[in-house]
Structure 1
Amino acid sequence: MIEWKLPGSCLFDGRTVRYGVTGHGPPVVAVHGTPWSSFNLRHIIKALSRDFTVYYYDLIGYGQSDKSPGDVSLGIQNPVLDYLLDCWQLDNPSIIGHDFGGTTVLRTHLINGRDFDRIVLIDPVALAPWGSPFFQHVREHEAAFAGVPDYIHEAIVRAYIKTAAFTPIDDAILDSIVLPWTGPDGKAAFYRQIAQAHSGYTDAVQALYAEISRPVLILWGREDTWIPLERGEALRDMIPGSSLHVIPDAGHLVIEEQPDQLVEKIRPFIQHAGTPSRA
């Protein structure tokens, strides 16, 4: 097990959001996806903190943040991010989003009108249709899944997580990914966030991608079986001036598999923050 603690906290509508801030320099915000937490962004956070002040947090319903019954959908995640940006007193930081984190970034920019100097999207859930057969099955039978014995639940989570990676996941890392989804609260939260996932949240912004004028860098694991590379190519074509870089030997969990390659692309892109040129 790898220790990961978020020292900061704030309340959003009475629900605790845990966060961390590290490093010195221009601000960068990192947003994780599902079924992940800020733990999975730790390599990127550490590397970028040498030159930037990195703000990171666990989405509502994930990781160390509040997992009580309630809304944990993509519909609430952009208001949470909007609120955190005010708490951190950030006007237009660079921002990085993986998976649902990329969706949250896009929705916060396009729905809440938050400005970001540079936007980095890593294998984002951005284009419909999306949602695996497993997602669809859980949505239809959330209560049944939430009622399975703990040992079966943990086996389900482990098996599901493994499908996100192209290369085998280290046991200690896998244990740390699974941990927030264990126990009564974590178990219910795992199925709750899947049950509340719906492509309507991307439908609401997909038509607006052509209006994005900020520099956008899209990074994609070549072997991503959750969201194939073709979606990344389509997204690049929809966002004017955006660039797409493919990361070899990595699946959807590229943030764990090839973090160094990601940082090699992200660092020079966000170092140009404040200038009008695109990567």
Structure 2
Amino acid sequence: MTTHSRTRPWHLHQYVQVTAGEVATGVFGDGPPVVLVHGTPASSYLWRNAVPTLARHHTVYVWDLLGFGASRLDRDLDPGATPSIAQQARTLAELVEHWGLETPALVGHDIGGGVVMRAHLLEGVPASRIALLDAAVLGPWNTPFTEHQQRYAEAYRTMPLHIFDDLVTARLRTAVHRPMSEEVAESYRAPWAGAEGQQRWIDQVCAVSFEDTREAVARLGEVSAPTLVVWGAEDQWLAPATGDRLAAAIPGAERVTIPGAGHFIAEDRPEETAKVLVDFFAAERARAEAGPAGATRVRRGEG
């Protein structure tokens, strides 16, 4: 893999060549490594206001999933490649190797949670600890809107651009509890704009399937890394009860709810999200340093 620089919005200046395309990446801060994996239909932009707090304690690695944000899926390199969870998990494994990380903390939001768990359990990506935020892991997790698009993909692909744009804009606004500003809404919408963006949107919608997380779900009982499950109390896409089920399926997992946050938890409550992660990582690090005799599990109640 090779890396080169390119100017683009939101600080991701590094591009890494992977098997199926070119991934936009960024590295911030100093300390134990943390890899942030966003979900759909977002990009690394989701993390922009949480990264400064995390970067005061950690080296934070962020990237745009293939086919999302500024990352490019290249079918000339891999004709069979799709922006599926399985493909993203293989890409995460490549990136972790490229960055030279031995046991990073892995954080996954939405389908990024599915990517993290598949990468860890099926691709062999090591993890010192895992945090799953409003995560699409346990099925069924497709929303009715996503299922409708999958069922009538060709209609959405050929829909007049201005109508499709209205749908995307309205959809993105339901991802948050606190209203987005026009500037923020435009930043989330921009990668999906125009004819190319419309096709990329439908490509990723059609590629996302619970089949890609089924194998990981079957092995959740094998997870030994300390795990934290975080959910926005006002998530309209994946109900908080899903987070309860996910935490119950992973041995020893902790469960936290953040009030006043929708599905895009790091957009609604970036400081609170970052603090929950920093506290979790610090507690686990202290426990590891203390050893078995001094270990005490810190349980966090619902927000």
Range into which the TM-score falls when normalised by the shorter chain: over 0.9
Letter of the 1:31 partner, please give it: V
The 2-side partners of 1:84 and 1:224 are apart by 30
CA RMSD of aligned residues (A): 1.6
Q: 1:213 to 1:14 in 2, by over 3 A?
A: closer
**Aligned counterpart in structure 2 of residue 255 of structure 1, from 260, 263, 266:** 266
TM-score by structure 1 length? 0.95
- C-alpha deviations, 1:27-60, integer Å up to 9, x for none? 1111100000000111121211112111100000
The 2-side partners of 1:158 and 1:188 are apart by 16
Residue 184 of structure 1 deviates from its aligned partner by 2.8
Report how many residues are paired: 278
Q: 1:14 to 1:216 in 2, by over 3 A?
A: closer
The 1-side partners of 2:47 and 2:57 are apart by 16
The 2-side partners of 1:149 and 1:241 are apart by 49
**Aligned counterpart in structure 1 of residue 156 of structure 2, from 121, 140, 145:** 145
* More off after superposition, 33-42 vs 7-16: 7-16
Letter of the 2:157 partner, please give it: A
**Aligned counterpart in structure 1 of residue 56 of structure 2, from 50, 59, 72:** 50
- C-alpha deviations, 1:101-143, integer Å up to 9, x for none? 1111111110012111111111000111121221111112222
Q: 1:209 to 1:117 in 2, by over 3 A?
A: same
Q: Following TM superposition, where does structure 1 have runs of at least 4 consecutive aligned residues deviating by more than 6 angstroms? A: none
1:118·1:273 contact (CA, 8 Å) conserved in 2?
A: no
| Bigger radius of gyration among the two | 2
- Other structure's SS at 2:209 match: coil
Q: 1:201 to 1:14 in 2, by over 3 A?
A: closer
Residue 194 of structure 1 deviates from its aligned partner by 0.6
**Which residue in the other structure is 1:104 paired with?**
115
Residue 274 of structure 1 deviates from its aligned partner by 7.5
The 2-side partners of 1:154 and 1:184 are apart by 10
* More off after superposition, 266-275 vs 14-23: 266-275
The 1-side partners of 2:218 and 2:106 are apart by 21
**Which residue in the other structure is 2:17 paired with?**
11
1:9·1:16 contact (CA, 8 Å) conserved in 2?
A: yes
- C-alpha deviations, 1:156-183, integer Å up to 9, x for none? 1111111111221111111000001113
Letter of the 2:206 partner, please give it: A
TM-score by structure 2 length? 0.88
2:227·2:253 contact (CA, 8 Å) conserved in 1?
A: yes
**Which residue in the other structure is 1:208 paired with?**
219
